[in-house]
Amino acid sequence: MSGTIEQLKTTPKSLDYFDENRRLISAILAVLVGGLGIHKFYLGYTRAGFLAIFIVFCFWNKCFDSLN
């Protein structure tokens, strides 16, 4: 058990940089194409990404049907 705790304490800084970089890219994707849920796919949340795409598709479909 103590070996696991020691490993957590000695996490390389490169992993922290990777997580920060990943969050930054995800934030940029959320701002640019947030409605499509692309940022969710990038972070690995595939269910949430598909749900976002489904909701956007249904919303836009309803909006355009009401215009006709």
Specify the pLDDT at position 62.
78
Q: Count of domains in the chain?
A: 1
Burial of 65 (0-12, 13-18, 19+ CB in 10 A): exposed
Q: Does the structure show a pLDDT above 60 at 17?
A: yes
**Residue reference for tokens 């996490």:** 11
Domain that holds residue 12: 2-67
Specify the pLDDT at position 47.
92
pTM of the entire predicted model = 0.61
Backbone angles phi, psi at 6, to 5 degrees: -65, -35
**pLDDT, tens digit, for every residue of 28-63?**
999 998 888 898 988 888 999 999 999 988 888 777
Specify the pLDDT at position 28.
93
Inter-residue contact 26 to 37 (CB < 8 Å): no
Specify the pLDDT at position 67.
66
Tokens (6 digits) for 35: 């409605």
Burial of 43 (0-12, 13-18, 19+ CB in 10 A): middle
